[in-house]
Amino acid sequence: MRGNHMAVATLQRSQEQIRFHNIIQQFLPKDQAFLFLGENPKQSKFPAILIFGDSTVDTGNNNYITTPIKANHYPYGKDFPGRTPTGRFSNGKLAVDLLASLLGVKQTIPPFLQPDIPANELRTGVCFASAGTGYDNLTADITRVLPLSQQLIYFKNYTQMLNKIFGKEEAERIINHALVSVSAGTNDFIFNFYDIPTRRTVFDINNYQEFIIQMLHNFIKELYKLGSRTLVITGLPPIGCLPIQITSKFHRRFGRTCVEEQNVEAQAYNKKLLQFLPRIQTSLKGSRIVYADVYNPLMDIINNPEKYGFRETMIGCCGTGLVEAGPICTPVTPLCQNSSEYLFFDSIHPSEKAYGYVTECIKKQILEKL
């Protein structure tokens, strides 16, 4: 019986690897697809991957808290293995799942709040992220989700669990050598500056960007105190191209274009972040802190959709594609026929296919620096 279980597990892993390669080859230009046909995965240089941030990286923690911001219902997860809604805000896997797979760590990353996570899954990393959060504490207050301060508390709890299961020395090795991914910021600007101008009464855009970077600075220092040494910090996407932002600005379905002002401001923030990260790395001895650019890969898809096999980049697959997300992207909401032709699955979040392209770009950006 044990041999049968091992054979089934091996087959499932092989099927997952084939499915992942299919995702990669969907978006790569034909002259690059061969790069993945003969890949020979090696042992990962990272023993674990740890995730902090918002809905772009939340693998299901919001399922276990009281908030309306959830994705634990169909059509979310319709293309996930087993076609199961997991709490991920996409039709399938997120970029962090795909990155963990590309790096040879694991196929998917469990949410820390999931009950009864097996020891081997704890050893190779978990996700602390919460959809709807941001670097600004006010953001999580508005959305009733986990602020980054609470994600740090859960990280401490996780470290204690590793100590108990594997011993202090092994726990420290895992934490010290884990790849830590931090992805947030979009909600801060959407909820607090653009759509609900709470912070606009206190900050201009330049000062708010600097405020957010200071909050990130504080968060990185706390991660460092807890043992993290290798961090990947994701910049902002083209916020003005999110379908919900286009709808909010122009109130129309046809003739849609990105909100240029918001994109310019996202680029300005990213430039500041890119300049800031080397400085904080220098101040934290033994750390490696690298910037992950998601803005340009997404803009490349928007500007050249046919190159990557996309048909629609201005609306989401769910419902009208104009505003539907989370609680209003439901099991009875109509869907597009083929989500792989859409850059966005709902009005905010990319499809799994889009995440596949972003993941490959991030891998190329970070590996040579880590």
Task: Tell me the catalytic residues.
Answer: 55, 346, 349
- Residue 351 token pair: 């499809």
> How far, in Å, CA of 3 to CA of 362, rounded?
38
Which residues on adjacent β-strands are paired with residue 234? 183, 292
Encoded tokens for 318: 């769910």
Q: What are phi and psi of 307, to 5 degrees?
A: -60, -30
Q: How far apart are the first and last CA of the chain?
A: 42
CA pair distance 317, 346, nearest whole angstrom: 6
Q: Is 60 exposed, middle or buried (0-12, 13-18, 19+ CB in 10 A)?
A: buried
Q: Give 78-84's long-range contacts (Cβ < 8 A, gap of 24+).
A: 78/335, 78/339, 79/339, 79/352, 81/16, 81/19, 81/108
Neighbours of 274 (CB within 10 A): 13
Structure tokens at 239: 């916020």
